[in-house]
């Protein structure tokens, strides 16, 4: 099962069309896509515009591969559930987002090696062709880094901003 | 950087450390949808001693925070003035009726508004800039920094001596 998702903000038909054509060319019938507010009629994959967060998590859970825009909701959920994810960033010049921050996010996360990134449709097709089920990555824990949690908790409880041994508000 | 109300509250708490905490800290946790909401859920362990009320933009998120008070607000973005005004009115009302001690947000526009109103009402405010902002802070993040008591970025290279501070990320 492959799950493709573009979030709720706007259409990202460039991603959906590429996956639809790839699925057609390879006879894949196990692809489901959440397409957002899109008028694109997919021919080879099942599609729905929006799904609720519970179904979203279920879809990710049952997928062997997630393909998504570079939205943090999709990326974090895939990592939390230990799924491999290919990300294609939205581009402002193509009217896919207000700015190019997804490009920057994708680059930075790719450097860290936790996600795969396709910057173009061509790269996406290549990555899909190469993708094979070779074990799933390690799951991310369900919580933020302990140091971040402790900074916020300390501030809530004492009103102090404390980093390690440094107390900057006193 | 902290205002006098905060020190007052802190004194009160220190005087009553040995008594049982009959009144829990009231915390308002605000975010828009998608990644902002997912990031808010990943830091909610930090609020576990508080009475937490969530404010977000999709009814379907309610099921993810069972047992908590939950408010909906329209998903204002900077480009629609009417949407922004509507959200501002709604958030002002929520902050007024909840009277939180702390307002925390992971973005975006609704969180910015909630922090502004929270601060006016004497709450302490926390802004955690989204991990999606890797090259520069979000626009509301840059503006909000000046009215957040605790201003955090999730990328070390974006941290500055007077904030935002870096102390780890949601990942």
Nearest chain B residue to A142, by CA: B42
The half-sphere exposure of A58 on its side-chain side, counting CA atoms within 13 A, is 5
Q: Where are the domains of chain B?
A: 24-166
| CB interface of B with A, residues 41-60, below 8 Å | 42-43, 45-47, 49-50, 58, 60
Do residues B169 and A145 touch, judged by C-beta distance below 8 A?
yes
Enumerate residues 6+ apart whose C-beta is below 8 A from B142: B136
The model's pLDDT over B1-26, given as tens digits with 9 standing for 90+, comes to 444 334 344 444 444 444 445 589 99
Chain B residues whose CB is inside 8 A of the A105 CB are 131-132, 134
Beta pairing, strands A162-163 & A166-167: antiparallel
**Quick check: A7 contacting B, CB < 8 Å?**
yes
Domains and CATH numbers, chain A: 2-136 (3.40.50.2000), 140-170 (no CATH)
**Per the structure block, which two tokens stand in for A152?**
């916020």
- Around Cβ B112, how many Cβ atoms within 10 Å? 28
- Around Cβ B74, how many Cβ atoms within 10 Å? 16
Select from B117, B126, B170, B116 the least CA-distant residue to B148. B126
Task: Show pLDDT as tens, one digit a residue, over chain A (170 residues).
Answer: 999 999 988 899 999 999 999 999 999 999 999 999 998 999 999 999 999 888 999 999 999 999 999 999 999 999 999 999 999 999 999 999 888 889 988 998 888 788 999 999 999 999 998 876 556 677 877 788 999 999 999 999 999 887 655 666 53
The model's pLDDT over B29-82, given as tens digits with 9 standing for 90+, comes to 999 998 999 999 999 999 999 999 999 999 999 999 999 999 999 986 655 788
**Per the structure block, which two tokens stand in for A81?**
């559930």
Cβ–Cβ of B168/A76 closer than 8 Å? no
What CATH class is the domain B24-166?
Answer: alpha beta
Distance CA(B115)–CA(B31), nearest Å, equals 11
């Amino acid at each position: 099962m492959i799950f493709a998702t573009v979030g709720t903000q706007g259409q990202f038909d460039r991603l959906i069309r590429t996956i639809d054509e790839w699925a057609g060319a390879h006879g894949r019938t196990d692809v489901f896509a959440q397409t957002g507010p899109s008028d694109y009629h997919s021919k080879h994959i099942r599609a729905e515009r929006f799904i609720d967060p519970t179904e979203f998590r279920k879809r990710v859970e049952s997928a062997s591969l997630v393909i998504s825009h570079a939205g943090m909701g999709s990326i974090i959920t895939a990592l939390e559930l230990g799924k491999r994810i290919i990300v294609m960033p939205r581009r402002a010049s193509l009217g896919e987002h207000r700015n190019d921050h997804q490009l920057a996010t994708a680059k930075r996360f790719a450097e860290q090696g936790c996600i795969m990134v396709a910057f173009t449709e061509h790269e996406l097709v290549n990555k899909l062709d190469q993708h094979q089920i070779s074990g799933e990555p390690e799951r991310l824990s369900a919580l933020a880094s302990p140091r971040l949690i402790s900074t916020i908790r300390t501030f809530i409880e004492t009103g102090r901003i404390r980093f390690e041994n440094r107390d900057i508000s006193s | 950087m902290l205002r006098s109300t905060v020190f007052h509250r802190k004194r009160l708490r220190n005087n009553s450390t040995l008594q049982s905490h009959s009144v829990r800290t009231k915390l308002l946790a605000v975010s828009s949808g998608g990644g902002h909401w997912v990031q808010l859920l990943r830091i909610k362990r930090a609020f576990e001693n508080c009475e937490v009320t969530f404010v977000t933009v999709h009814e379907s998120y309610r099921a993810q925070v069972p047992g908590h008070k939950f408010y909906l607000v329209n998903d204002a973005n900077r480009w629609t003035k009417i949407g922004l005004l509507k959200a501002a009115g709604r958030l002002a009302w929520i902050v007024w009726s909840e009277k939180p001690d702390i307002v925390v947000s992971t973005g975006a526009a609704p969180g910015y508004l909630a922090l502004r109103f929270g601060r006016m009402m004497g709450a302490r405010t926390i802004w955690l800039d989204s991990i999606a902002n890797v090259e520069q802070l979000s626009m509301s993040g840059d503006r909000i920094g000046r009215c957040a008591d605790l201003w955090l970025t999730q990328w070390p290279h974006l941290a500055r001596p007077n904030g935002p501070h870096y102390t780890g990320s949601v990942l």
